[in-house]
Amino acid sequence: MALGLPSILPNPQPAIGELVRDRQPTFSFEFMPPKTEQGERQLWQAIRELEPLQPSFVSITYGAGGTTRDTTVAVTERVATETTLLPMAHLTAVNHSVAELRHVIGRLAGAGVRNVLAVRGDPPGDPTGEWVRHPDGIDYAEDLVRLVRRSGDFSVGVAAFPYRHPRSPDIASDTEYFVRKCRAGAEFAITQMFFDADEYLRLRDRVAAAGCDTPILAGVMPVIRIGTIERSVQLSGAPFPPALAARFERVADDPEAVRRLGIEQASEMCQRLLDEGVPGIHFITFNRSTATREIWQNLRVGAST
């Protein structure tokens, strides 16, 4: 049953699916909903510092187990109404009934937000724990894609996994699951973070070989401290490239050297991706602007030389 939302939202925002196909390469930023007042100040400082770069869009994540549902929607609404940025809200199915999901979708529509990243999400508390379907919820991301698309004039994106999703038994299954999400109505995808351009290129090749041409944006997070490496493994479920880890280990006792190497490595990887025709780069900011701006500047300098 659809929400009955108007097919055309008031003052409709651009559809990210169309932007990604028509204005390649896109550049975009990912923010997280804040948990404290200090975190909120940091978030909005980062937003204001990155806004002048005129990204193609920005996204606001959804906490594990749906824990930041209301904050995610509130931040997305504020970005839509108080900035010049084009917002996309993440939406996860975990711990939500279909009725609750429809309520969130309705709030987004009411704020004029038409872009949604639909993901199943991880169980709360333990991302690697057993997936338990909400008794009145849905099972898979492809079901969430269909729900959002049926609910109004939305442009829907999904997640992609260069290494493979931690719950996928093998690469072939992971590719099949991704293609099913696209055939359910996803117009574009954003990868989980990765640190080797070849991982992205292999993903793109295997999706193309499966007959799917959905644009896949590269999710990029620079390593700015040694702890980022361990965190990236926890968040992505993918091993950190051993050769790159060894480079960071050699400068581990010098925080500034770690940061310089992280900016350099991310800039070089982004440039290679652009040279290989990536349709867009999505910077995972963790609500800080400095590293993203430095990489952005490196890419602009490289493009002008």
Hey, which residues are catalytic here? 30
| Amino acid present at 196 | D
DSSP class per residue in 274-305? HHTT-SEEEEE-TT--HHHHHHHHHHHHHHH-
Cis upstream peptide for 124 (omega within 30°)? no
From the CB of residue 8, how many other CB atoms can be counted at a distance below 10 Å?
10
52 burial class (0-12, 13-18, 19+ CB within 10 angstroms)?
exposed
Q: Determine which helix (DSSP H) or strand (DSSP E) holds 229, and give its type and residue range.
A: helix 226-236
Exposure string for 232-262, b = 16+ CB within 10 A, e = fewer: beeebbbebbeebbeebeeeeeeeeebbebb
Is the distance from CB of 118 to CB of 157 less than 8 angstroms?
yes
Q: What is the DSSP letter of 225?
A: S
Which pair of tokens denotes residue 280? 């867009």
Is the distance from CB of 13 to CB of 86 less than 8 angstroms?
yes
Residues 6+ apart with CB under 8 A from 42: 34, 287, 288
Is the distance from CB of 31 to CB of 46 less than 8 angstroms?
yes
Task: Give 43-50's long-range contacts (Cβ < 8 A, gap of 24+).
Answer: 43/75, 43/287, 45/289, 46/285, 46/287, 46/288, 46/289, 47/79, 47/83, 47/85, 49/289, 49/293, 50/285, 50/289, 50/292, 50/293
